[in-house]
Structures are given as C-alpha cells and as structure tokens.
Chain A
C-alpha cells in the first residue's frame, strides 16, 4: 500500500508528517504520507500519484506491458527448463555440432507440447468431441481458482494493514473443518444448511486469523511467527480430529470424514457436467466486498492507515490494536471461505489434505495482485489456470507439475522488478531513455507491490 518508499518515510518522518498535514486531501505535497491518502472521498480505486502518474496511466502505459512481458519471459525460461531436462533433447544434444537442428527441434517440441497441454487443460480443449468437453478446462480453471482468490484476498487484506499473513493455510484448514462438520453432522433443509456451512467456515477461519491478530495487537508478538505456528497447530488439530468418532468416516480407517450432505454443497453453476460451483460467485462477491471495505469504508481506511504508518495512525486516534485484530479476523474469514469452497465445492469430504497448498499459493497470488482486490482476483484466475492446466500437462506430456511453481514464482519476481524486465527487453521508460532512472523509479513501484514491510 505504501506509496512512498519506506526507507525515506522513516528517515524523513517528521518532515513528512508536517507535509502530509498540509497536503492532506489536496494531494499536493511533495512526498505524501501514505497514511493519509484521502481517496476514501476522492472516488478513485487508488489514491492519485503525486509525481504525475495515475494508476490508470501506469496500467495502460508501463504496468500492463511489463506484466505481460514478465509472463512471457517466465514462460520462456520455464520452456528452456522443460527443454533441457527432456530426454530426447539431451540425446540430440550429444551430436549437437553434427546436426544442431535436431536439438533445437526436440527442444521446441518438448517445450511447446508441454505448454499446449497446459493451455488445453486450463482454457480450451479443441480436441474434445463436444462443446462441453471444449470449455470444460476453463470451468475447471475457475473452480480451482476459487479458493486461491478467496485466500489470496485474505492475505492481501492483511498486507494492506501491514501484516504478513502466512497463516492462510491454517485458516483454510480450520474453516474447512468447521464447515465440513456442520455439513455432515447437521440435518437441515436446502439453503439453510449451506448458509450455516458457509457461516461455520467464516467463523472457523475468523477465529484462527483472529487469534493471530489479537496476540499481535495485545502482546506485540510477531505475526509471522504466530501465523506459521498456527498453521502447524491447525494441521495437527485436523489430523487428530480425523481420528475421532465425530469426524472420521465410520466404515473407514483412513483419515477421511463422511461425505457432506447434498444440502450442504454449493450447487453447480452449469449442471453436473462441470465442477464449477457457486463458490466462484461467492469469490466474486468477496472481491467486491474487500474492494468496498478497503476503499469505501471507515474500517478499511483505518486498515490502510495502520498499514502505511502505525505511529501516525495512533497519533491520529486510530486504534492500531483494533485494526490488527479486526483485519486478521476478516482475513481469516476470507480464508475460511476458501476452505468452504474446498469442502462444499469441489471435494465434498474433509481430509487432511483439504487445504492442499492453497494457503501458500495464496501468498504469491496476493503478491502478484499487488494486494489490490481485483489484482488478487485476476492473479488467482491466472494461477488457477496454471494449476488446472498443470495437471493435464503432467498427464499428457509427463512434464512434472512443479514447472508451474517455477513459472509462477518467476512471474511474481519479474513483475516486482519492472526495471529488470525493461532492461531485458530494452524498453525505455516514458520515452526518456532507460539509463540512470531505474533506481528511483523502482523504489516506488516495488514497495507498492507488497505493502507489508
């Protein structure tokens, strides 16, 4: 969230504070204190940039181009990795100097076939016999991205309040556990049952996030430690619960719960042929809600203020402790919704692997989305596509799904460092010639990417 560079902020604290007071709302100060971007009134998604670059301008001029180039570059590097580890390429490379084309052709085939499979698994499958089969991959992408988006929103929201929430994993687990319990234990009519399941998930995640937030606010314990520890505790708690009578399937010795009642499941969006469920709509709603919360509500303003500068917020009369606790409760609730999407959307049962690695992927999703609600939404879609396509790719071409992790992390790295991407593609920024400028430039663009420091 912080617009100006953190280092400068600390050093010029007193000065900034005065300027910010003077320039509050007018956005006319030289270096505005990020705590007081008055965009809650101004009506823009992002506070206006003072150095004459609006966010919109950035998206259409520098930002999106860099993002696209970053994705291309990452896919290219991933392709190289696929190629050099391919058996046929290695074989052809042994006589590289005799017939170099063999190696290149093999490399191209290895990389392109993997990516084609990835695309077929994620977006559109032209080889399918009917329309349903063709668009099935895309709906699968949406289904997979649902928990990613929800948990990503949780991480992003905490980021904006200056908290680094590594605990999405634990929050998903507890949310899913409580939701599943309501789902398979209670016997309720349509509608009410699902609502209660969702509510249980929200409460479960909210409690788990809230513990971290409350302890952080009350005792000053470091939230990174707290959330990591709570993740492990959640894992073992679930493992234990799945051995107890109230959770374990009666006829099974495996750590697996009974199926959730049909009344507790999200209805399918497009019929039973697709796994896509109403949870995706919930994810869209949650994105809207987070956007509203951050940019239209007083609480959201306080969150951002606390995240930008806790000292200044405290001086301004905002309760930092309340902010930390509340933001973690909401973040946890969002992750809890991700847990609901798992148990009553795609899985239908509670197992010890219910959260997969969604909680950790959510961190990268939030980072890629630069901690903005819609950024996180689209980042979730992108990673959902990678995940859904990666499975197909592994089945069809034998390329391990780990390549997806490599490509994903490269994307985030490159997007976080626009000067590097510009240097690689020799793009000069703002037509001024790229030399000499990247340092100061990056200082703004990059810090913005995360918000938590």
Chain B
C-alpha cells in the first residue's frame, strides 16, 4: 500500500495532497469478511434478541431478526462504505468523521446476527449482554481515568495495574476486618494513592524514567499482595479475606427504562461513582481553570511554570488523584465481582485500561467508550460460549485485541499524547 511514510512522532501532516489509503483498505478487508461470512454464509433462520430483563415493568417483545436479509444488508452497507471511502480518498477528500462509527456499528450488528443465528441456541438477551459489558468495564474505566488524570499532567502511568490490584487487596482486607464495605472502599482509595505516591516520588522527585517506575510498581504490588495472600490471608481467610459485597442500589422508576435502565440505574455505588467520575473528570479537564492548568502542565510545563503554576506540585497532586480513582476501581473486584481476593486477580486489566486510555486519545469520555468496547467484547465471549457457537472460543477471546489493533492502526490513526508526557520537569 502506498501509505506515505509519516514521521512516527505523531505529527501527521494534514495536507490535502497526502492520500492515505489505509482506512479504505481496512474497510475493504472487513467488507470482504462481512460478505463472505454474514451474507454468503448466513446461517438461515432467525436470531432473537431479548431487550427486556425479567424484572422490568415495561416488557418489550424480543426482537426476532431474520439472519439472511440482515446479513446481506449489513455486508452491502459496509461494502458501500468501503467504496465510498475509496472514492473520497481518490478525489482528495477526507472521510466524514462519523463514517468509522457507522461502519463499526453496522459491522457489529451484522456480526451479532450472524454469530447468534449460527449458534445452537439462537436467542440472546441484549440487555444482559450490555449490562454485563458495563460490569466488566467498570474497573477498566476507573483505570483509564487514572491514566488520563496523570498523563494529562505529563506523568506516564503504567502503574494502573498496580493501583487496581492494590485497591482490590486493600478493599478485601479492610472490608473483611471491619465488616464494613465502605471502609473497604476507603482503604482501596488509600491503597491506590499509596501506589501513586511511590510513582510520584520516584518520577517527580528522583526523576526516574516513569515507564520503569510504573512497570516495577506493578511487579511490586503483584509480589506484595501475592505474598501477603499466601501467608496472612490464606492462613485465616475468615478474618482477612471474606469481605461483604456492596449492595445494588436501584433507583426507583428510572431503573425500569427499557435497556438503559438496568445499565444506568441498577448499579452498586461504585458503578454510580464510575459514571460520576467520567463526567467530573471530563468537565474538570476541559471546562475549568483547574483543567486548563493541568493540561498546560502536561503540554508545556515551562510555559506553565512561567505563569506561576507549580508544575511538580500539580503533577504530584494529579498522579495521586489518579491513584485514588484507580484504587477505588480496584475495590470493584473484591467488593462487587468476587467477594474475595486472589493472587493477581486483575489479570492484566490495568494494561487494557492503559490501552483504552490511549485508544480514547487521553480523553475521559472516549476512554470510557473504549473501555466499554473491551467490556463488551469480553462479555460477548462469555455469552456466546454459553450459546454454543461454531467459532472457537479462543478466537472470540482474541476479538477485542484484534479490534484494538485494527482501530489503533487504521481507524483512530495517530494518537497524540500530551507533549510533555514522560519528561520530568526541572526548573531553570
């Protein structure tokens, strides 16, 4: 392909003369997949999507979709988009920004109909699928917010994994000892901050390479919690490792809204805090004086310093704030998902959160959606393995990661981190 060789440091020259065929090529590849799979290989019969959970007051009839027409329709639409994109690029124009979203949505619909239609049981609860996705995404979202908070001030935060794990551990222990879930949440927050303090001290005071500190902190937290789990926690798990669960708080009336009710208004307090955190961080970063200062420190610390902003103080504060957010997210593992701590229970999700943050271009709202995508893909695998699909489970498991690579390499394009990300600031 004749993609122009651009400089790798994220400054794509947006000249009209530069034509990148990357996007249409990726569209075309997936259009071929759609044609071959969803259209020509349509399973026949129908796929049923339930859109009301059992306890909903308003019961909507499940949507029954004939697989053949829908498969063909989605395949043809994505093909049309690919052709359109080719023509746009050929004419020297740019694709509209909403095009990838439309493409992705149509493709996902086509895929869902095809995969559910070809399963042994051809009905699936759409509500369950979506609600499960959000549940799986909660810690990811907290983690990516932590990343956004600290990378926006110019401190690379690889330690998200460690913050989540420390939060999960502290929540389990504190809630078990005190018997109070809220004490667990508090302890999780403190634990996340502690991890961040180390990150801040080493990267801001001692100017150690931030990636090194992050990676090492992950190992340290994993080792520390693993060690304490094998010694103290497993010796007397009744005292140390049997935290109570957070109650689900249902908001009256609103929870009965079809589809969205269960997702938005039937959550634990950590779930509600997650939505609140996304909104607060977004507004804070982009619509307040605080956010302007934070971003200026991340983009051009010298200029910020000249204006009287305390660069390293701002950095330390934000990194710790991020730790608090991620720590709280970690409590979700032990207080909501499973009610006990196990070794390395975050299982690399901190890195996925990191990916979601980069995928979401260091923006809390996009990071939220990117994390949801991971949650959705993971949950889809669980749901489909229950339904019994012909696609091997391992490939379904790979799906989110392949999608991320395709998206990062092709559709999202160059993501630009804050300019001063990773560089320590030395006054003078």
Same complex origin of A and B: yes
The chain A residues found within 8 Å of chain B, CB to CB, are 5-8, 10-11, 81, 85-87, 164, 166, 215-222, 224-226, 228-230, 232-233, 236-237, 239-240, 243, 310-311, 314, 319-321, 324, 360, 363-364, 367, 400, 402-410, 412-413, 416-417, 419-420, 438-440, 442-443, 446-447, 449-453
B254 on interface, CB distance cutoff 8 Å: no
Give the contacting residue for B409; candidates A10, A215, A311; CB below 8 A. A215
Q: Which of the 9-residue segments B176-184, B206-214, B270-278, B313-321 touches chain A?
A: B206-214
Are A416 and B213 within 8 A (Cβ)? yes
* Contact status of A416 and B424, CB under 8 A, knowing A237-B398, A310-B7, A400-B231: no
Which A residues are CB-close (under 8 A) to B404? Answer: 225, 229
B237 on interface, CB distance cutoff 8 Å: no
B92 on interface, CB distance cutoff 8 Å: no
* Contact status of A408 and B219, CB under 8 A, knowing A166-B351, A222-B408: yes
Are A85 and B354 within 8 A (Cβ)? no
CB distance from A182 to the nearest CB of B (A): 22
Taken together as a complex, chains A and B put the C-alpha atoms of A404 and B222 apart, in Å, by 11
CB distance from B383 to the nearest CB of A (A): 17
Can you list 12 residue pairs at the A/B interface with Cβ under 8 Å? Answer: A5-B207, A7-B420, A85-B231, A219-B3, A222-B358, A225-B408, A228-B351, A228-B354, A229-B401, A400-B230, A408-B219, A416-B213
Taken together as a complex, chains A and B put the C-alpha atoms of A449 and B208 apart, in Å, by 8
Give the contacting residue for A452; candidates B206, B207, B211, B302; CB below 8 A. B211
Taken together as a complex, chains A and B put the C-alpha atoms of A321 and B6 apart, in Å, by 8
B57 on interface, CB distance cutoff 8 Å: no
Chain A CB within 10 A, most for which of B224, B394, B410, B414: B394
Looking at chain B's contact residues, the main secondary structure is: helix
* Contact status of A229 and B216, CB under 8 A, knowing A240-B392, A449-B208: no
Are A442 and B206 within 8 A (Cβ)? yes
Nearest chain B residue, comparing its CB with the CB of A2: B209
Are A215 and B3 within 8 A (Cβ)? no
B: number of interface residues (CB 8 Å):
66
Taken together as a complex, chains A and B put the C-alpha atoms of A364 and B409 apart, in Å, by 27
Which A residues are CB-close (under 8 A) to B392? Answer: 240, 243
Which B residues are CB-close (under 8 A) to A453? Answer: 209-211, 422-423
Taken together as a complex, chains A and B put the C-alpha atoms of A321 and B415 apart, in Å, by 17
Nearest chain B residue, comparing its CB with the CB of A217: B8
Are B426 and A409 within 8 A (Cβ)? no
Are A402 and B426 within 8 A (Cβ)? no
* Contact status of A405 and B220, CB under 8 A, knowing A420-B206, A446-B208, A449-B212: yes
Taken together as a complex, chains A and B put the C-alpha atoms of A219 and B7 apart, in Å, by 10
Are A442 and B207 within 8 A (Cβ)? yes
Which B residues are CB-close (under 8 A) to A220? Answer: 6, 8, 10, 12, 413-414
Which B residues are CB-close (under 8 A) to A228? Answer: 348, 351-352, 354-355
Nearest chain A residue, comparing its CB with the CB of B427: A439
Give the contacting residue for B215; candidates A8, A219, A314, A367; CB below 8 A. A367
Which B residues are CB-close (under 8 A) to A404? Answer: 223
A-B contacts besides A7-B425, A453-B210, 16 pairs, CB < 8 Å: A5-B426, A7-B423, A10-B420, A81-B224, A219-B409, A228-B355, A233-B401, A321-B8, A360-B219, A364-B216, A406-B223, A413-B216, A413-B220, A419-B206, A453-B209, A453-B422
Nearest chain A residue, comparing its CB with the CB of B230: A400
Give the contacting residue for A236; candidates B208, B351, B397; CB below 8 A. B397
Are B394 and A405 within 8 A (Cβ)? no
Are B423 and A443 within 8 A (Cβ)? no
Chain A CB within 10 A, most for which of B207, B222, B301: B207
Which A residues are CB-close (under 8 A) to B12? Answer: 220
B9 on interface, CB distance cutoff 8 Å: yes
Taken together as a complex, chains A and B put the C-alpha atoms of A363 and B215 apart, in Å, by 8
B5 on interface, CB distance cutoff 8 Å: yes
Give the contacting residue for A6; candidates B398, B415, B423; CB below 8 A. B423
Closest 8 CB pairs of A and B: A405-B223, A402-B226, A400-B230, A450-B209, A240-B394, A409-B220, A406-B223, A402-B227
Give the contacting residue for B202; candidates A215, A364, A417; CB below 8 A. A417
Interface residues of B in 62-119 (CB under 8 A from A): none
Which A residues are CB-close (under 8 A) to B198? Answer: 413
Which B residues are CB-close (under 8 A) to A320? Answer: 7-8
Which A residues are CB-close (under 8 A) to B8? Answer: 216-217, 220, 310, 320-321, 324
Which A residues are CB-close (under 8 A) to B7? Answer: 310-311, 314, 320
| Binary interface encoding of chain B residues 223-239 relative to chain A, with 1 for a CB under 8 A from any of its CBs, else 0 | 11011111110010000
CB distance from A329 to the nearest CB of B (A): 16
Are A449 and B355 within 8 A (Cβ)? no
Nearest chain B residue, comparing its CB with the CB of A8: B426
Are A405 and B226 within 8 A (Cβ)? yes
CB distance from B139 to the nearest CB of A (A): 16
* Contact status of A367 and B212, CB under 8 A, knowing A218-B3, A221-B408: yes
Which A residues are CB-close (under 8 A) to B301? Answer: 7
Give the contacting residue for B213; candidates A233, A239, A413; CB below 8 A. A413
B217 on interface, CB distance cutoff 8 Å: yes
Nearest chain A residue, comparing its CB with the CB of B6: A220
Nearest chain B residue, comparing its CB with the CB of A218: B3
Interface residues of B in 378-395 (CB under 8 A from A): 392, 394-395
Give the contacting residue for B401; candidates A232, A402, A449; CB below 8 A. A232
B22 on interface, CB distance cutoff 8 Å: yes
CB distance from A364 to the nearest CB of B (A): 6
Taken together as a complex, chains A and B put the C-alpha atoms of A324 and B230 apart, in Å, by 42
| Binary interface encoding of chain B residues 1-32 relative to chain A, with 1 for a CB under 8 A from any of its CBs, else 0 | 00101111110100000000010000000000
CB distance from A245 to the nearest CB of B (A): 13
B279 on interface, CB distance cutoff 8 Å: no
Which B residues are CB-close (under 8 A) to A400? Answer: 226-227, 230-231
Taken together as a complex, chains A and B put the C-alpha atoms of A363 and B354 apart, in Å, by 17
Taken together as a complex, chains A and B put the C-alpha atoms of A294 and B62 apart, in Å, by 63
CB distance from A202 to the nearest CB of B (A): 23
CB distance from A111 to the nearest CB of B (A): 13
Which B residues are CB-close (under 8 A) to A216? Answer: 8
Are B223 and A221 within 8 A (Cβ)? no
B405 on interface, CB distance cutoff 8 Å: yes
Chain A CB within 10 A, most for which of B211, B212, B231, B359: B212
Nearest chain B residue, comparing its CB with the CB of A408: B219
Are B202 and A450 within 8 A (Cβ)? no
CB distance from A340 to the nearest CB of B (A): 23
Which A residues are CB-close (under 8 A) to B251? Answer: none
Are A402 and B223 within 8 A (Cβ)? yes
Nearest chain B residue, comparing its CB with the CB of A360: B219
* Contact status of A450 and B220, CB under 8 A, knowing A85-B228, A232-B401, A243-B392: no
Nearest chain B residue, comparing its CB with the CB of A86: B231
Which A residues are CB-close (under 8 A) to B249? Answer: none
Taken together as a complex, chains A and B put the C-alpha atoms of A447 and B423 apart, in Å, by 9
